[in-house]
Amino acid sequence: MTPLRLLPLLPLLLLLPACGGSEEDAAAGFDRARLAVFGELPEFIEHPEYGRPSEAMIRLGEKLYRDPRLSADDSISCNSCHDLDRAGVDGKPFSEGVGGQLGGRNAPTVFHAAGHVAQFWDGRAADVEEQAKGPILNPVEMAMESPEAVMAKLGGIPGYREAFAEAFPDDPEPFTYDNLGRAIGAFERGLVVRSAFDEFLAGDDDALTPQQKEGLDLFLSTGCASCHNGPYVGGGSFRKLGEVEPWPGLTDNGRMEATGNEADRYFFKVPSLRLITRTGPYLHDGSIADLREMIRKMARHQLGVELSDDQVDSIAVFLGSLG
């Protein structure tokens, strides 16, 4: 028989199991107000000035994206380093360009890149249209001599002039290097992949497993979303690598190399975490291959937080819901 003096405490005692923070508790419900930091993933990432491109422009962009003849020795295409069958990366710390030369930074995924604040790790290109024109002329990557040389080469390939004319019907001179960038960018703006996380954001509580929900809770409470937020779970800002604790062995000056501003030293674009479980190795230099090590080090150096093995595992499992 329950003593009368304990009766007023029964409601509180019944609530105690719900305060443990276990996976079962996370599955019971999630405060959806906390999800406002993310936002809805668009179906297509439209250019703020040009709007949605025509299908002809997108087709031309994909053809250019996959064509190794945009490189000096016909060996390297955009897809070589940003392989669409491998989540938009090549899986290497540094990509190989013409003649086996190695680039100086890790090639990030092209998926969702069109929605980022800027392009490249240092943000030196404003959008994917501008970014697309860079590697073609980079002597380490695709090594074409000049925009004129690129267009002269394409002009000798049957079908390209007609494809440019169809893609840019209102342009008095459609066959230009700038339009090449626009076409590739138009194709890349459609590289959007929905995931279980998007279904969860849309209201399906069963889209995430209990452990994924626990990982999401930790992701938010630890402070990961202070940088990795918005529809792309990142990509919207530049942050200093080693914000709380200096990053060991850091020699790349980051955004300072693009701006010349000392205040930008060691700042890099915050990467999107969409497809993150499939796009290693990680960081601007591809120096970390293991996702769990990446989570642990970012928590320590960016947030000043030491995570337990179980916490790291839960966050990693949550990140798997991002595609």
User: Which of 62, 129, 141, 214 does the annotation list as catalytic?
Assistant: 141
Residue 172 CA to residue 96 CA, distance in Å, equals 37
Q: What angle, 0 to 180 degrees and rounded to 10, lies between the N-to-C axes of helices 160-167 and 177-188? A: 70
Nearest to 207 by CA among 216, 220, 215, 198: 198
Indicate if the alpha-carbon torsion angle 233, 239, 245, 247 is positive or negative.
positive
Beta bridge partners of 269: 238
For this structure, is 141 an active site residue? Answer: yes
Residue 210 CA to residue 83 CA, distance in Å, equals 32
Cα distances (angstroms) measured from residue 202 to each of 41, 162, 215: 10, 42, 18
Helical H segments across the chain, by residue range: 10-15, 23-28, 55-65, 78-81, 128-137, 147-155, 160-167, 177-188, 196-201, 210-222, 256-259, 291-298, 309-319
Residue 241: what residue type? L
The residues annotated with a catalytic role in the active site are: 141
